[in-house]
A and B are shown apart, each in its own frame.
Chain A
């Protein structure tokens, strides 16, 4: 089974900061990777699919990159509404999550 490892598990940042979250797959997965944002008490929201494709309606400050085993989610300029937990996913396997907190 494929394992997905995210880092860091949490990050403290300020509004306007650039934030980068990484996700590593235990074996090559080509570009079959998604990123989700989850706020407390809410269902996850799809941000990025196919590693770098922006889901409709998602702000362009979110971007994804990578292929094979190493992937990155970047928030170019953190906004107040972006404080949340982010998960990567490859098919049936989710990463452990990264909590983006206010510094």
Chain B
């Protein structure tokens, strides 16, 4: 059974950095891209970026470019999303998701989500 298990909720101050993990099981980690999606409270879904765990190559959405870093650790089958210079607008649930046909962007497996609250 494919599982994506994310780290727990975080509370951060403005200007801080948050790093969320997404540990996978049930499939070969390097076979599929890992994506990250943001959902602000009561709002829609926004794609942030992806990593190819096989070679570490990344693509980021323009909106987050320069503040987001997505990495993959093949020794622990874990992907990470780091978001820096946090502001109140970054308060959101962050999801990791895979597209089992890498590059299709059809996200068939999702993590449970991690709530990040940015507050002074």
- A-side residues, CB < 8 A to B, are 1, 32, 34, 36, 38, 43-46, 49-50, 55, 87, 89-97
Task: Assess the B44–A46 pair: CB atoms within 8 A.
Answer: no
Q: Is B29 an interface residue (CB 8 A)?
A: no
Task: Assess the B95–A46 pair: CB atoms within 8 A.
Answer: no
Task: Assess the B44–A97 pair: CB atoms within 8 A.
Answer: yes
16 new A-B pairs (CB below 8 Å) besides A43-B112, A44-B107? A1-B62, A34-B107, A36-B45, A38-B45, A43-B97, A43-B110, A44-B45, A44-B110, A49-B104, A49-B108, A89-B45, A90-B105, A94-B46, A95-B44, A97-B44, A97-B45
- Knowing A43-B113, A87-B44, A87-B45 are in contact, say whether A92-B61 is a contact too (CB < 8 A): yes
- Knowing A43-B95, A43-B111, A92-B61 are in contact, say whether A34-B105 is a contact too (CB < 8 A): yes
Q: B47 contacts which of A36, A43, A46, A93 (Cβ < 8 Å)?
A: A93
Task: Find chain B residues with CB under 8 A from A38 CB.
Answer: 45
B113 to chain A, nearest CB (A): 6
Can you identify 19 A-B contacts, CB atoms within 8 angstroms?
A1-B62, A32-B105, A38-B45, A44-B45, A45-B110, A46-B106, A46-B107, A46-B108, A49-B104, A49-B108, A55-B108, A87-B45, A89-B107, A90-B105, A91-B105, A93-B47, A94-B47, A97-B44, A97-B45
